[in-house]
Every structure is written in C-alpha cells, then in structure tokens.
Amino acid sequence: MTQSATPHTGHDLRAEGLSLGYDQTAIIDDLDLNVVPGALTVIVGANASGKSTLLKGLARLLKPTAGQVTLGGRNIAALPGKKVATVVGLLPQQPIAPDGITVADLVGRGRYPHQGWFRQWSSTDDGIVAGAMAATNTAELATRRLEDLSGGQRQRVWIAMVLAQNPEILLLDEPTTFLDVTHQIEVLDLLLERNRERGTTVVMVLHDLNLAARYADHLVVMRSGRIVANGTPAETLTAEIVRYAFDLEARIVPDPVCGAPMVVPIGRFHGRATDTEGSSDSAVAPATAPHGAAPTGR
C-alpha cells in the first residue's frame, strides 16, 4: 500500500517562487513545491538546509520575502489566521507548555481555532479531544501532568494536541528527534495511520533517512535552501543525490522489511574499497585498527 486509499478532495498547499529569510540572510530562495494532497511527504536534508524554514513558511509562521504560499489557490497570508488554522496544523520543534498543565488541558488547547465568541466549548470539542487522545494512545494519561511524562509520552500528547485542531494538513518539524527508536516508530506509525485512515496530508521534517524512505510517499531532498530532488523515495534516494545533498558516500539497498530504499552510509572505516578486512566484517574491524596497524593511506 503506497498511497492513501481514500480519494482526496482536500486543499492544495503550494509554495510558488518562495523566498524566506531572517534579518538580512536568505535561507530559501525562489522555491517551488506542490504538497501532494493525501500523501505523506517527508522533507530531508543536511543541517541548515532550510527544512524547518520551509515548513514554517508553509505553515504561515514566516512572512515570505518573495513569492507566496497558496492554500486552495489563495495566498495563505491573505486568509484569516484562524481559518487557516482549521485546515493546517503545525507541531514545531521543542514546544513550550506552562507548568503543571494536564494532558487533557493541553490537548484541549488545540481546539482554539474552532472556538470563538459564539462557539464556546461544546461536547463536539470534548469528542474531538477524546478522538485525538484515542488516536495517539494517550487517553489513559488524561489527568496526568505533562512534565511527569516520559519523552515518548510527551511527544504523543503534543501530536494529540495538533490532531485536536482537526486539520486536513499536518505539518511536523522533527517530531522524532529526541525519542528512542521504539518511540520513533510509534510516532511515525501513528502519523501514517492518520494518513491512511483519514486521508490527512502529512508533511514532516525528519533526520533519519531510512525512516523517511520507509514512511514517505514523497520525499523532498533539500540542500542550501533549494530542492534538489522531489519524488518517490525510490526516485530520490540514489547514491548521487545522497552524495550531493549530504556529502555522504552511500550504497542504496532495498530495506529487507518493506522494500523501500535504504541508505547504507560509507564512512572512513567501513565499506571503502581499500579496506582489506572485508566490508562484511567492517563492524568489528575498528577495534583493532588504531592499535597496531598503521592507518591505511596515511
């Protein structure tokens, strides 16, 4: 299953000629991107390649210095903020929570865009909060305080909060960065489930190339503020592109679990043609290399 089964009739999010920057420095220059509706897109790139900046631009958090971001054909900056917030939700890196807040309270804050002077808290809101917590398996944590939870639990609660916004397009900035691998898989499975079951468009920035390749329908590879590749993981994760975008030598092999492309990095000690120990045992070799044998080629 590589694409969402539900035919998607949602809103298109696009960047057209987008330039973004802070103060005087331009981080992104003249970038075009069509976010595929109903798909799970992952943005990858080296540090400082502009991934987070692009995400913030798409989420209407940064004002473009040139170009525009459009939602459903209309310039996102011209639309009322609350309306946009009912369609697009963003989970930033390292969000802040006030001391002592409970899980249920925090998730409930995600309902803000749907409430107003004439539409205060209703049972629908409670229902959606419950749904968000069910989707993230945080229902039993409802009365606990956020600061007492583990990292994985906390991240799920934050995702529940963004889900409570009930957006059609979900943007996440490095949602797995401080989690151990179990919880990384947990969070990504959760997001994939949203995408497959509800057709929610998901765009996220990830550091781990292999997880990105496994979960993404579309991969956007960035370098220095520009998109260098945009397509399915199979199309975009090639040795040449990895070399260009990450300055990394790698071999691309099929993932034995799901068949997606898997990036196997070649560093100084492993996988080099000159390594006489043999590439299959390179995991063990370095324990002996620096202690006796003269380093090769030095």
CA–CA distance from 2 to each of 74, 117, 214, 270, 271 (Å)?
29, 43, 10, 33, 32
- Position 280 contacts other proteins (CB under 8 A): no
- Position 124 contacts other proteins (CB under 8 A): yes
Find the shortest distance in angstroms from Cβ 135 to other proteins.
6
- Position 118 contacts other proteins (CB under 8 A): no
CB-count burial class (<10 Å; 0-12, 13-18, 19+) for 61 = middle
What residues contact 74, with CB distance under 8 A and at least 6 apart? none
Quick one: which of 131, 174, 239, 252 contacts other proteins (CB under 8 A)? Answer: 131
- Toward other proteins, which CB reaches closer, 259 or 290? 290
Q: 158: part of which helix (H) or strand (E)? A: helix 151-164
Question: For residues 134-153, which are near other proteins according to CB under 8 A?
Answer: 134-135, 139, 142-143, 145-146
- Residue span binding other proteins (CB under 8 A) among the ranges 73-81, 178-186, 210-218, 238-246: 73-81
Task: Output b/e per residue, 106-118; b: 16+ Cβ within 10 A.
Answer: bbbebbebbeeee
Q: 50: left (phi > 0), else alpha (psi -120 to 50), else beta?
A: left
Question: For residues 8-67, which are near other proteins according to CB under 8 A?
Answer: 8-11, 23, 37-38, 56, 59-61
From CA 298, how far away is CA 279, in angstroms rounded?
20
Quick one: which of 133, 157, 206, 245 contacts other proteins (CB under 8 A)? Answer: 133
- Position 187 contacts other proteins (CB under 8 A): no
- Toward other proteins, which CB reaches closer, 74 or 243? 74
Quick one: which of 2, 290, 293, 296 contacts other proteins (CB under 8 A)? Answer: 290
Measure CA of the first residue to CA of the last residue in the chain; give whole Å.
49
From CA 91, how far away is CA 158, in angstroms rounded?
7
Q: Which pair of structure tokens corresponds to residue 127?
A: 């229902």
Q: Which pair of structure tokens corresponds to residue 280?
A: 């299959």
Quick one: which of 45, 57, 64, 108 contacts other proteins (CB under 8 A)? Answer: 108
Question: For residues 159-178, which are near other proteins according to CB under 8 A?
Answer: 162-170
- Position 109 contacts other proteins (CB under 8 A): yes
Quick one: which of 45, 67, 113, 233 contacts other proteins (CB under 8 A)? Answer: 113
- Position 156 contacts other proteins (CB under 8 A): no
Quick one: which of 14, 198, 207, 226 contacts other proteins (CB under 8 A)? Answer: 198
- Position 268 contacts other proteins (CB under 8 A): no
Number of Cβ atoms within 10 Å of the Cβ of 276 = 8
List the beta bridge partners of residue 170.
Answer: 89, 202
- Toward other proteins, which CB reaches closer, 132 or 262? 132
Question: For residues 79-98, which are near other proteins according to CB under 8 A?
Answer: 79-92, 95-98
Q: What is the dihedral angle through the alpha carbons of 92, 97, 102, 104, rounded to the nearest 10 degrees?
A: -30
- Residue span binding other proteins (CB under 8 A) among the ranges 26-34, 69-77, 255-263, 268-276: 69-77
